[in-house]
Structure 1
Amino acid sequence: MERDKGAVLATERYGSSESWKYVLKDGVMERRRNGGDGHPVGTSVVGVFKSVFLPQGYPESVSGDYLQYQFWDTLQAFSSSLSGTLATQASLRGVGVGNQEATVAAATVTWLLKDGTGMLGRILFAWQKGTKLDSEAKKWRLFADILNDIAMFVEILAPYFPAFFTLIVCTAGIFKSIVGVAGGATRAALTVHQARRDNMADISAKDGSQETLVNLAGLLVSLILIPLVTDNPVLTLCLFFLFTVLHLFANYKAVRSVVMETFNEARLSIVLQQYLKDKRILSPPEANQKEPVLFEFGQTVPIKLGVRLQEIVQSPEDLHMALKENSMSYLLGVRNGCVCVCLGPEASVSDEIRAMCQAVLLSNMLNSSNSKEAASAALKQQSYWEMVHESHKLMDTIFSPLFKGAEAAGWDMKRTLIDWDEWRVEWKTKSS
């Protein structure tokens, strides 16, 4: 009890892990740790582990979903490492390792062709899909891991088709190059989400340390597996499928655990649909739980954002119809079965959100017309403009409470992840 006496002059803490106080006792200032005399977190084994593998300031410096995501991400990386070992062994056997009849030149040519096609695939994929990797990070993250498993499965089968070995490994190389682009880019997008103190570099570096530790563990396990699976294709395939199932399950749980507070097309559509249904605003965790993480094809009328003016209007009459009952800095129209949105240069983030909401409403109206094909064939352009005008009136009624409600529910309304193209159009109204 004697130790607790004295006036407290100051207190300090290191994140949320430990706190100290400075006490004046007998004219001397002493520094004491709150909560007992245990080892400080920074010097204990657990403390050292945290400082090596977790970002500084954890958990305050990262998003709330960080630990859950990293757990599943670590598990998927471990299983992927083991699957990769089996695929690498198959590739080496296919190029002639252990075969006295194989030549170094033939193996080298095969490897160069594999790398070359992979480089081309990387460039083409980044060109075609680079802008989608931010707005649909979850989908592309899961897609990358599924494609990676397919590539490794193809590599394992390649040695059993020697006549087509080069073609097969080149195809696998293209798949893996796409995986590299999609996986790396979506990892960067998720790091932006997790960083809460502008500490992206620290989070990325610690993620690399975690992955290195996992790969080291995978390497040790692989040293045990390789003697067992050599010249045993049945066991190789069985283990590969086991690791693949674990890998895909962990990846699914990982992307499902991510809770993003910014709107993309899917999350905004989910919140809007719920609001139209019962006037309730979904919170970020609720909307993220409903967000699809697999690609869906042909279920809704497609929406094109940031298009050229000619994709909406073909004549002065069309422009007049597009401006009718519309005072916003965007234009909407329906062309070739697609909802198109033309954005003005002065459009704000709020305008972008409103334009996306209205495009979703218009898409729903078209979907309700039996089917997309029937609507495209039967409805005349005049009917389309009537739908556009109706959507303007509905947005005038619901957007303000929707926007304020989303802000109150925890959504970040200062920026979005909506995938707009770069076209910006200035148009003239009658008054001007």
Structure 2
Amino acid sequence: MTDSEEQPLCTESYGSHSAQRYWSLPSGRLSCIPDRKEDWRGRSVCDIFMSVFLPQGYPDSVSPDYLTYQIWDTVQAFASSITGTLATQAVLKGVGVGDETSTVTAATVTWMLKDGTGMLGRILFAWSKGSKLDCDAKQWRLFADILNDMAILMEIMAPAFPACFTLIVCTSGFFKCIVGVAGGATRAALTMHQARRDNMADVSAKDGSQETLVNLAGLLFSLLLIPLVAENLCLTYILYGLFTVLHLYANYRAVRAVCMETLNRARLRLVLHHFLQSGTVLDPAVANPREPLLLGSQKQLRLTLGAPLHTVVSNVAEFQKALDGNSSNYLIFFSQAAGTVSVLLHQQADSMDVIKACTHALILESLLYQPVSASLVERESLLDLQNRLQEEPDGENWAMVSESHRLLDRVFPKFLTGLTEAGWVTDRNLLGPEEWRVDWSIAKKKAL
């Protein structure tokens, strides 16, 4: 067939796979010609594996950090499966499995107390920290894995302390249920970050398939391991230590691989400090590896976004001072002695206003705890404010807060432009504002 007899019609591709070119034959039939030769047998096996364990459309349907994260997550899941098996063996031995003197009733009561304590822990932790897990998903994920290893260690050690066995396993169950809440919630937050085509359910389902495969591999390995450690306590401790180190390292690498484009307080703090020092904004790929992964590892002001009015204002005069000269959709109250910044958010405040309010609070934090002499942005104004902050007693900071408002009005537009150009998401945030909102337009109208 000559080129004049063939007519190119269209091309077709499946996701990021190689394209196929379709030709129109003189008979009216279609002729399919792949753009390049491939080993279709190998390609078929690879396609089956990808369709079973990877989201549809991979890699275009997920975030760029997906594969690296999943590899390390697989390693940590395998290590956790092995240490979990060692803990299960220890708990079963502790409740009396294989001991003729123990009773079924005693073992059942111990197990029920363990489960009941864990249920209580699940409810309490979700109530106290549930709203914070989205904001610091990476930190809470690492915290959950450290706590999980502590709980497993307690279970392995429990048989050595028969008098305190029930207390130890109940405490371990309490910890493990906290791990379940923190791990499950942060996994959902990371899945939302990884899903790029409104395919969160598919990403979550395939993540479950990957974890099931890893647990199956861990089960098979455990079947070979258990006979070796059944009567060898020293070997149990050695294997626990080795797999725990692997588990924690893999978890660290996994959360460190995550590159989020949404601002939380830690990432905003990093980006803002770099901006004040250099005048440029770090992009997500540079800022994320610098994000601290241990909760409470830095000296910070206690910041409350969306605070209720009665917690920060005791009289009308204080409220009027906060309103004077303020044109933003937030009011800021700063106490140097208490180390707190409380922000009232207006009912019309959007994500941009929340980012601006948090930026304002973090600038005050920098004035307290960071040297600003090296700043390239508004260096003289920052030094002046820092000197006044150190000289003036607490309670006389209203003039300084007002000046910081004017400073922010000059700095924030350029900072916001830099955030957008660097690839940060600003139409939503993970800064963790509370739900309280205030409408002070009535007070402003009366003042006029």
| Residue 401 (structure 1) aligns with | 414
From 318, 335, 350, the equivalent of 1:348 is 350
On the 8 A contact 2:346/2:437 being kept in 1, the answer is: yes
Superposition deviation, residue 146 in structure 1: 0.4
Superposition deviation, residue 300 in structure 1: 1.7
Superposition deviation, residue 379 in structure 1: 2.2
| Residue 332 (structure 1) aligns with | 332
| Residue 151 (structure 2) aligns with | 151
Superposition deviation, residue 388 in structure 1: 1.2
On the 8 A contact 1:18/1:40 being kept in 2, the answer is: no
| Secondary structure in 1 matching 2:123 | helix
On the 8 A contact 1:334/1:340 being kept in 2, the answer is: yes
Q: Distance in 2 between matches of 1:248 and 1:4?
A: 64
- Please say if 1:381 is aligned against 2:383: no
| Residue 382 (structure 2) aligns with | none
- Please say if 1:365 is aligned against 2:367: yes
On the 8 A contact 2:5/2:26 being kept in 1, the answer is: no
| Secondary structure in 2 matching 1:332 | strand
Q: Distance in 2 between matches of 1:2 and 1:65?
A: 47
Q: Distance in 2 between matches of 1:281 and 1:368?
A: 18
| Distance change (3 Å), C-alpha of 1:417 and 1:357 | same
| Secondary structure in 1 matching 2:341 | strand
1:9-408 mapped onto 2 (5 Å cutoff): 9-27=9-27, 28-36=29-37, 38-39=39-40, 44-297=44-297, 299-335=299-335, 336-367=338-369, 379-382=393-396, 384-408=397-421
| Distance change (3 Å), C-alpha of 1:10 and 1:368 | closer
Superposition deviation, residue 126 in structure 1: 0.0
Write the letter of the residue equivalent to 1:385: W
- Please say if 1:422 is aligned against 2:435: yes
On the 8 A contact 2:301/2:340 being kept in 1, the answer is: yes
Q: Distance in 2 between matches of 1:164 and 1:266?
A: 41
What is the TM-score of this pair, normalised by structure 1? 0.94
On the 8 A contact 1:302/1:363 being kept in 2, the answer is: no
| Residue 375 (structure 2) aligns with | none
Q: Once structures 1 and 2 are overlaid, which stretch shifts more, 392-401 or 306-315?
A: 306-315
Write the letter of the residue equivalent to 1:38: D
Q: Distance in 2 between matches of 1:395 and 1:193?
A: 30
On the 8 A contact 1:69/1:255 being kept in 2, the answer is: yes
Q: Once structures 1 and 2 are overlaid, which stretch shifts more, 65-74 or 285-294?
A: 285-294
Write the letter of the residue equivalent to 1:233: L
Superposition deviation, residue 377 in structure 1: 12
On the 8 A contact 1:52/1:206 being kept in 2, the answer is: yes
Write the letter of the residue equivalent to 2:412: F
On the 8 A contact 1:301/1:367 being kept in 2, the answer is: no
| Secondary structure in 2 matching 1:82 | helix
Q: Distance in 1 between matches of 2:256 and 2:400?
A: 36
Superposition deviation, residue 304 in structure 1: 1.2
Superposition deviation, residue 224 in structure 1: 0.9
Write the letter of the residue equivalent to 1:391: S
| Secondary structure in 1 matching 2:332 | strand
Q: Distance in 1 between matches of 2:135 and 2:196?
A: 19
Q: Deviations over 1:167-204 (max 9, x none)?
A: 00000000000000000000000000001000000000
On the 8 A contact 2:7/2:24 being kept in 1, the answer is: yes
Superposition deviation, residue 7 in structure 1: 2.0
Q: Distance in 1 between matches of 2:250 and 2:358?
A: 32
On the 8 A contact 1:365/1:387 being kept in 2, the answer is: no
| Distance change (3 Å), C-alpha of 1:322 and 1:40 | farther
What is the TM-score of this pair, normalised by structure 2? 0.91
Q: Distance in 2 between matches of 1:390 and 1:89?
A: 64
On the 8 A contact 1:274/1:282 being kept in 2, the answer is: yes
Query: How many positions carry a matched residue from both structures?
Result: 425
Q: Deviations over 1:376-401 (max 9, x none)?
A: 9982311x223311220111111001
Q: Once structures 1 and 2 are overlaid, which stretch shifts more, 19-28 or 139-148?
A: 19-28
Q: Could you list the runs of 4 or more consecutive aligned residues of structure 1 that deviate by over 4 angstroms after TM superposition? A: 1-5, 375-378
* Alignment gaps of 5+ in structure 1: 370-374
Superposition deviation, residue 38 in structure 1: 3.3
